[in-house]
Amino acid sequence: MKLSLRLSTVVVVLYALGYPVGALAVQAMSPGLVLLVRFAVSAPILLLLAARRGVPWPRGAQLGHVAVVGLLIQAVQFIGCYEALSLGMSPVLVALIISMNPVVTAALSRPMLGEQLDRRRVLALVLAVAAVLVAFAGRLGSAGSVGVGVVGVLIAVLGLSLGGVYQQRYVRGVDPIMSAGVGILASVPAAIVFAATRPMQVDRPAQAVWSMAAMIIFSSLLGMTFYLAALRRGGAGQVAMLFAVIPSVSAVLSWVLVGDRPDAGVLGGLVLGAAACVLGRARGATRPVTHAPERPCPGRLESVR
């Protein structure tokens, strides 16, 4: 279970792109409506693509496990983040806490996967945290206070991390496109409830259309499919480590898309984050606890076309 550099790069770029594109979408329309449109449009497209490829629908307990992964990674993560933002929490602080995904994933991996950390993985986690803090250092001064919204974003990062670990523990042999489609479809009811309890309005129709189209294509269709493919190939720990470099890449993409010039900390974050990813994907970075039962290693990743 070793995550390839090519797949890692694709996941980082697509996930990082979601932050500036999502910010543009939320500027144009209310967050609840953004989430509802994103889920309602992307789920049938993904399921149709999976059906065209002849991918079998997961059955029985496997279907339930795929739905749980989708609810955790999609519904819990994004509803928690949007709720925190609606309560006045700074987007900088929200992104900072979400980027602690490697640490939360490592904490969950021991009880759920029977993994304990060796010194190499501990060093990778230290570098990951340092990379995130360096990348955000220039923006923390204007981030404001934490406030009650921290509860929502803590739930969000827990959902993201738990979803990755749950995927590695329970989901086997499900095509990433089918898995993404089922997971997002399972999240639609939660998005409906969230949107219904919030004001729904569109302030900038043109921006709403193109930003939502970009979010659906790059975040839901491509981003979530490759994210789940990476979880299947490399496991939760290696994928979570990518969050050490995602904030810096997102800052660079925000510069390109919306003109937010990054500070010097972004470069330091990229360097430290890259080092953390290299250590985190090295063989032997985790080892099973001696009393934990053996689990079969997931099969080879099917090609995503």
Encode pLDDT of 164-203 as tens digits: 999 999 998 899 999 999 999 999 999 999 999 888 899 9
Return the minimum-mean-pLDDT range out of 119-133, 135-149, 170-184. 135-149
Whether 63 is covered by a domain: the verdict is yes
Confidence of residue 29 (pLDDT cuts 50, 70, 90): very high
Spatial separation of the C-alpha atoms in residues 121 and 143, rounded to whole Å: 30
285 is a domain residue: no
- Which residues, other chains included, contact 156 with Cβ-Cβ below 8 Å and sequence gap of 6+? 76, 77, 78, 79, 80, 81, 84, 94, 97, 98
The model's pLDDT over 241-298, given as tens digits with 9 standing for 90+, comes to: 999 999 888 888 888 887 777 777 888 888 888 888 888 776 544 444 433 344 443 3
Mean pLDDT of 146-166: 90
- Give per-residue pLDDT as tens, 47-72: 999 999 999 999 999 999 999 999 99
Residue 107 forms part of a structural domain:
yes
**CA–CA separation, 98 vs 117, rounded Å?**
21
Long-range contacts of 139-145 (CB under 8 A, 24+ apart): 139/92, 139/263, 140/92, 140/93, 140/96, 142/90, 142/92, 143/90, 143/92, 143/93, 143/96, 144/88, 144/89, 144/90, 144/93
Give domain status of residue 283, yes or no: no
Determine, yes or no, domain membership for 110.
Answer: yes
Q: Which of 32-36, 44-48, 117-121 is predicted with the least confidence, judged by mean pLDDT?
A: 117-121
Residue linked to tokens 């039962």: 293
Q: How many domains are there within the chain?
A: 1
The residue ranking higher by pLDDT, 127 or 2, is 127
213 vs 120, higher pLDDT? 213
In-domain check, residue 262: no
Instruction: Look over the chain and give the mean of its residue pLDDT values, rounded to a whole number.
Output: 85
The pLDDT, as a whole number, for residue 222 is 95
- Find, among 224, 239, 228, 180, the residue nearest to 47 by Cα: 180
Percent of the chain whose predicted confidence (pLDDT) is above 70:
89
Residue 154 lies in a domain: yes
Pick from 2-11, 16-25, 69-78, 251-260: least confident:
251-260
Predicted local confidence at residue 304, as pLDDT: 34
Query: Per-residue pLDDT for 215 more than 80?
Result: yes
Alpha-carbon radius of gyration of the chain: 18
In a domain, 303, yes or no: no
How far, in Å, CA of 59 to CA of 63, rounded? 5
Give the C-alpha separation, 82 to 196, whole Å. Answer: 14
Domain range enclosing 14:
5-114+146-240
